[in-house]
Structure 1
Amino acid sequence: MQFELKGKPAFAHARVEVEPGETFIAESDAMSSMSAELDVEAKLNGNFLNALLKKVFGGETLFVNHFINNTAKTLELIITQPTPGDMQIKELNGESFCLQQGAYIASEKTVNLGVKYAGFGSWIGGEGLFKLMVSGHGKVVFGAFGGLLEKEVNGEVIVDTSHLVGYEPSMKLKPQFSGGLLSTLFGGEGLVTRVEGTGKVFIQTRSMSGLSSWVNRNL
């Protein structure tokens, strides 16, 4: 299965070449276009309980689409996301990776998608009480609102609320004030998240909460 990202960073979409006999899984609203010969089957996103947990706590759809190539030739599939922004492809080789709610878009069939308790620190820091966990082998497509910054961390980094998209499971998230009391109250930053550990993080340049706040101020 071959992947290619186009339209980066503002209007990214993924072009997937599905080989004969292969199956590709995507969120129920992720398909933009596809070869007419591809077969599509809508299935629960895991068993019923797991699918419900992913929808309620992970921001994912209750059903996902399985795109199956039952022909003898390579077929094309175009995957998008609901918001304008960047997309990234990450290949897993037996390890796990954490994604923020709603970031997962699609993956190969050999990738597992689950929901894990993230702790009150993550919730207070604006990243949600639960996190998505992808694991197994294969490629995962995830997206963001705005551009995506990839950063190697060896120690700690401060990330603004709702801007953290993905990070290594071994990393710890700790909410804190952005500065002193006056800076926190009047500087416009409020709470931020301190990410501690060693590994790779993905940060989005925009956030839906920031957009919502801007719209409310200007209505």
Structure 2
Amino acid sequence: MKTEIRYKPAFAAIFLTLNPGESIVAEAGAMTSMDAQLSMRTEFSGGFIPGLIKKFFGGESLFVNVFTNETKYPLTLTLTQSIIGDIDRIDLNNSEICFQPGAYIAHTPGVKMGVQWAGFSSFFAGEGLFKLKLSGKGRVFFGAYGGITKKHISKDFVVDSGHLVAYEPQIKMSIGLSGGIVGSVTSGEGLVNKLSGTGEIYLQSRSIDGLVRYLRPKL
């Protein structure tokens, strides 16, 4: 399978060439164009029960689409996300990664889709009770609003709410005030993600919540 991410960083899209017999799983609505000979089937995201959990408690789609090349020659497929921003790829090698709602786009066979309990602090921050967790061996594509930064943390780290895109599951996340009650209100920072542990995290340079707050007085 040949993959290429074009139009980075603001309007990124994934261009794939599937060889005969190859397939890829994508978020519902991610396809922008494809060769007509590609076959597509729709199934529950990670299975019926995990799909329901992701839909109602994690803010994810209930279904995913599986694109398969059943011909004898290469076929092309283009995937993207609904928001403006960058797209990146994570290569899992018997490892795991958790995504915030809306970040996941697609994965190759060999990767298993499931859920991980995120805690009530995540729920109160508006980011769901469960996180989408992908594990196994293969490629995972994800997107962000704005640019993407990969960072290794080895101690406590603070991320403004809405800027965390993905993180390794051994990293613990809690929600707290950016400072004291008065300081949190007057600074405009409010709630933040307080991360602890050692591992990789992915951040987005913009926040959908921040955009909504900016537009609300103008509408």
Assess same fold via TM > 0.5.
Answer: yes
The 2-side partners of 1:171 and 1:29 are apart by: 30
Listed as ranges, the gaps of 5+ residues in structure 2 are none
1:171 matched to which residue of 2?
Answer: 171
Listed as ranges, the gaps of 5+ residues in structure 1 are none
Structure 1 segments of 4+ aligned residues over 4 angstroms from their partners: none
Q: Does 1:38 align with 2:27?
A: no
Q: Would the aligned equivalents of 1:57 and 1:115 in 2 still touch at CA under 8 Å?
A: no
Identity %: 45
Amino acid in structure 2 at the alignment position of 1:96: E
The Cα shift of 1:37 comes to 1.8
Q: Would the aligned equivalents of 2:58 and 2:127 in 1 still touch at CA under 8 Å?
A: no
SS for the counterpart of 1:209 is helix
SS for the counterpart of 2:217 is helix
Q: Would the aligned equivalents of 1:127 and 1:161 in 2 still touch at CA under 8 Å?
A: no
Q: How does 1:59-70 map to 2 (within 5 A)?
A: 59-70=59-70
2:22 matched to which residue of 1?
Answer: 22
The 2-side partners of 1:75 and 1:57 are apart by: 36
The 1-side partners of 2:15 and 2:114 are apart by: 25
Q: Does 1:134 align with 2:107?
A: no
After superposing the two structures, state which structure 1 stretch, 173-182 or 9-18, moved more. Answer: 173-182
The 1-side partners of 2:157 and 2:47 are apart by: 37
SS for the counterpart of 1:155 is coil
The 2-side partners of 1:55 and 1:152 are apart by: 30
The 1-side partners of 2:205 and 2:60 are apart by: 21
Amino acid in structure 2 at the alignment position of 1:27: E
TM-score (norm 1): 0.94
1:55 matched to which residue of 2?
Answer: 55
The 2-side partners of 1:163 and 1:135 are apart by: 23
The 1-side partners of 2:125 and 2:28 are apart by: 29
- Residues 133, 27 of structure 1: alpha-carbon distance in 2 compared, 3 angstrom cutoff: same
Q: Would the aligned equivalents of 2:46 and 2:112 in 1 still touch at CA under 8 Å?
A: no
Q: Does 1:102 align with 2:102?
A: yes
The Cα shift of 1:158 comes to 1.0
Per-residue Cα deviation, 1:18-46 (whole angstroms, up to 9, x for no partner): 11101111112000111222111122223
The Cα shift of 1:147 comes to 1.3
2:199 matched to which residue of 1?
Answer: 199
Per-residue Cα deviation, 1:160-183 (whole angstroms, up to 9, x for no partner): 011111011111112222123322
Amino acid in structure 1 at the alignment position of 2:93: N
The 1-side partners of 2:110 and 2:59 are apart by: 21
SS for the counterpart of 1:8 is coil
The 1-side partners of 2:3 and 2:60 are apart by: 22
The 1-side partners of 2:175 and 2:41 are apart by: 41
The 2-side partners of 1:72 and 1:106 are apart by: 23
Q: What's the RMSD between the two structures over aligned residues?
A: 1.5
Per-residue Cα deviation, 1:93-139 (whole angstroms, up to 9, x for no partner): 11111110121111112211112211123334444321110001110
Q: Would the aligned equivalents of 2:14 and 2:79 in 1 still touch at CA under 8 Å?
A: yes
Q: Would the aligned equivalents of 2:117 and 2:129 in 1 still touch at CA under 8 Å?
A: yes
2:147 matched to which residue of 1?
Answer: 147
The 2-side partners of 1:126 and 1:62 are apart by: 19
